[in-house]
Amino acid sequence: MLLTKNSDPDHIRPLATREFDQIRRLAYDTFGLDLKDGKQELVSARLRRLVLASGLRNYHDYYRHVVEDRTGAALASMIDALTTNHTSFLREPDHFRFLKDQVVPKLVNRKWIDIWCAACSTGEEVWTLLFLLDDAFPGVKVHVEASDISNRALHTARAAIYAAESVRGLPPRWHQKYLERGSGKEDGCYTVPPAWRSRVEFHRINLVEPFSWTRPFPIVFCRNVMIYFDRATQQKVVAGLFASLEPGGYLFVGHAESLTGVRHDFEYIRPAIYRKPLRGKP
């Protein structure tokens, strides 16, 4: 749709309370995002570009445009605009130390290790997990299923191109084995070579909708996403994560998150780490 000559930021009516309520209800119903009171200015700023790009004059018309778009593209763009994709390599390092020291030894006899990174964002967590597990299990096939709801974040994760400062803190042997310097337009960056990218499969998954895997995982990382959900949505997501783990499997959530107040059958291990009980145990 072409922009009208008056379609500039000054001609878009401010986001009204009723329009904010429409948008936050849509966000909650479709992907569980709980936009609290006080987020009106944030929503307005993040969606303003999409209102302009659609050639619209106000947020109510934009809301109708998203709802009536049968392709789902407008909703996907709204999700990309409203979700936060902040991550980094080796973020919350206590988790990776625990993974290496406490979980890896229990998997030593496996010929295949398949794990799920359930909110992979732009991919730094995915590659951290792949590098750590491959480094711990030379000769063992390590595969990562990675998912996110944001198409924009998944595009970056698949490309696996990162600025030099992003990978500066990684172990030197990881640089030598798993990364290569970019060239051309990627000069000054580092990339994950195709041989390692083939160990990861990316999916667009909405955690508040039904999902299932053909096999359970020994490890699931789902960090720093449930802080955006209310208690009822957390309940639903945690149940899905529990079902995706094998007995004895570990769930890692963000350090700012907790399952306190959420009904679940996990065993508490330590802050932000939970374990699915072995068969026969309560």
Residue 186, pLDDT score: 75
What's the number of domains the chain is made of? 2
d(C-alpha 85, C-alpha 122), whole Å: 7
The answer on 195 and 147 residing in a single domain is: yes
Cα-based distances in Å from 138 to 113, 131, 141, 183, 270: 12, 11, 8, 29, 28
- What is the pLDDT, as a whole number, of residue 105? 93
Are both 49 and 163 inside the same structural domain? no
Catalytic residue among 24, 80, 134, 148: 148
Task: Look at residue 84 in the predicted model and tell me its pLDDT.
Answer: 79
pTM of the model: 0.87
Rounded CA-CA distance 221/250 in Å is 8
Among 42, 61, 82, the domain boundary falls at: 82
**Residue 153 maps to a domain:** yes
What is the pLDDT at residue 3?
Answer: 33
Given a cut of 70, whether residue 48 has pLDDT beyond it is yes
Hey, how many other C-beta atoms are within 10 angstroms of the C-beta on 231? 11
Same domain for 45 and 171? no
- pLDDT above 80 (res 34): yes
Given a cut of 60, whether residue 282 has pLDDT beyond it is no
What local confidence, expressed as pLDDT, does residue 2 receive? 31
Residues 97 and 78 in one domain: no
- pLDDT value of residue 10: 55
Q: Are residues 28 and 74 in the same domain?
A: yes
Which of 34, 46, 199, 275 is an active site residue? 46
Question: Is residue 230 flagged as an active site residue?
Answer: no
Lowest mean pLDDT among 66-75, 83-92, 183-192, 253-262: 183-192
What is the arithmetic mean of pLDDT over 183-195?
86
* pLDDT above 80 (res 8): no
Domain of 37: which CATH number?
1.10.155.10
Beta strands 141-148 and 112-117: pairing type? parallel
φ, ψ of residue 219 to 5 degrees: the values are: -140, 130
Say whether 13 is catalytic: no
If asked whether residues 102 and 234 sit together in one domain, one would say yes
Structural domain span for residue 40:
9-82
pLDDT greater than 80 at residue 102: yes
Q: What are phi and psi of 65, to 5 degrees?
A: -60, -45
Higher pLDDT: 183 or 135? It is: 135
Percent of the chain with pLDDT over 90: 82
Residues 168 and 261 reside in one and the same domain:
yes
Q: Name the domain boundary from 82, 105, 137.
A: 82
pLDDT digit string, tens, across residues 205-245:
999 999 989 999 999 999 999 999 999 999 999 999 999 99
pLDDT value at residue 83: 87
**What pLDDT is stored for residue 266 in this prediction?**
96
